[in-house]
């Protein structure tokens, strides 16, 4: 695992900071705003302020990273209902990432007691108070999700891995099926990705999908639920995207294959598919917009 010293804060457009991952070749957040992304891509689509009126909530944070999605959720929920009791499970591959966020003082902007919570979670990986029960599980999420799926049902799930081309391991039919099994019947899952392959995998898991507003880029995000209630509809362009070769999902039957194998497997399936080539769909829609 990586040392905290290799993570250098990079400022985003909203003034908050993120890190660059050399392993995945991407930053952890959009350059338009790390905190903005946590709020607009996750907290708002998951409707956490309305859900906060309940006496208790359960949250699952897949790819905890710097802890911003968890922090934004806690802030929003406790602003509405300071007495809401929360149970949180967070999955993270590299323990150095949340520790580096603490070391660089990147979590101090959140209202109390959130900075203290993030610090304790990064160091002890467990919190137990009257108001919060939290666990940070370290390791390959394909393994740790199996522990969670046997005992946990979430009101809201943050799905925030690196992009599918860089980290397909956490976007497969098999992995997202386990993630979906952790969602309550009335719960919601949110992700920044609008990948047709990801959306197909979510639908394969029995979820309906909706489109969330773009944040920092032209493409939208995705919100998913077992019911159609309150899901923003997909555009005609997005619906047609799901009928192209781009919608062929990533597969990892035994939840252990390296990224290169998962990517190659999908490429072979796409090359032999009878679905419309994605380039043709893209060209058609470019013509209609000009």
Q: Map out the domains of the chain as residue ranges.
A: 4-289
Q: What is the pLDDT of residue 5?
A: 66
| DSSP letters for 119-164 | HHHHHHSEEE-SSEEEEEEES-HHHHHHHHHTT--EEEEEE-PSPT
At the top level of CATH, which class does the domain 4-289 belong to?
A: alpha beta
Phi/psi region, residue 33 (left: phi>0; alpha: psi -120 to 50; beta: rest), is: left
Q: What is the pLDDT of residue 3?
A: 62
Q: What is the pLDDT of residue 150?
A: 84
Cα–Cα distances (Å) from 226 to 83, 138, 152, 220, 242, in that order, read 28, 28, 16, 20, 18
Q: What is the pTM of this model?
A: 0.95
Tokens matching residue 65:
């990273």
CA distance 87 to 133: 5
Q: What is the pLDDT of residue 4?
A: 61
Q: What is the pLDDT of residue 290?
A: 56
Mean pLDDT (10-residue bins), the chain, 290 residues = 73 89 86 89 96 97 97 98 98 96 94 96 96 98 95 97 96 98 97 97 98 82 93 94 97 98 97 92 78
Q: What is the pLDDT of residue 49?
A: 97
In this structure, is the dihedral angle defined by the CA atoms of residues 147, 59, 10 and 217, taken in order, positive or negative?
positive
Count of residues making up the chain? 290
Tokens matching residue 174:
């098999």
């Amino acid at each position: 695992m990586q040392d905290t010293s290799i993570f250098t804060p990079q400022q985003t457009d909203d003034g908050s900071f993120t890190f660059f991952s050399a392993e995945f070749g991407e930053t952890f957040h959009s350059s338009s705003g790390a905190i903005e992304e946590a709020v607009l891509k996750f907290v708002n689509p998951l409707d956490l302020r309305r859900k906060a009126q309940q006496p208790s909530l359960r949250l699952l944070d897949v790819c905890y990273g710097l802890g911003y999605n968890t922090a934004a959720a806690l802030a929003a929920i406790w602003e509405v209902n300071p007495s809401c009791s929360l149970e949180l499970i967070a999955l993270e591959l590299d323990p150095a990432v949340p520790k580096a966020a603490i070391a660089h003082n990147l979590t101090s902007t959140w209202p109390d007691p959130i900075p203290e919570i993030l610090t304790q979670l990064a160091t002890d990986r467990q919190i137990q108070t009257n108001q919060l029960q939290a666990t940070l599980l370290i390791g390959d999420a394909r393994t740790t999700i199996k522990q969670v799926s046997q005992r946990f049902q979430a009101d809201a799930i943050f799905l925030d891995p690196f992009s599918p081309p860089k980290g397909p391991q956490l976007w497969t039919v098999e992995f997202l099926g386990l993630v979906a099994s952790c969602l309550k019947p009335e719960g919601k899952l949110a992700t920044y990705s609008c990948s047709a392959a990801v959306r197909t995998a979510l639908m394969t898991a029995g979820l309906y999908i909706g489109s969330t507003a773009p944040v920092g880029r032209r493409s939208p995000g995705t919100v998913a639920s077992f019911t159609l209630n309150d899901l923003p509809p997909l555009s005609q362009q997005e619906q047609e995207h799901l009928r192209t070769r781009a919608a062929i999902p990533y597969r990892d039957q035994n939840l252990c294959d390296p990224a290169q194998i998962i990517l190659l497997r999908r490429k072979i399936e796409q090359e032999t598919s009878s679905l419309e080539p994605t380039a043709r769909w893209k060209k058609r829609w470019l013509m209609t917009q000009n």
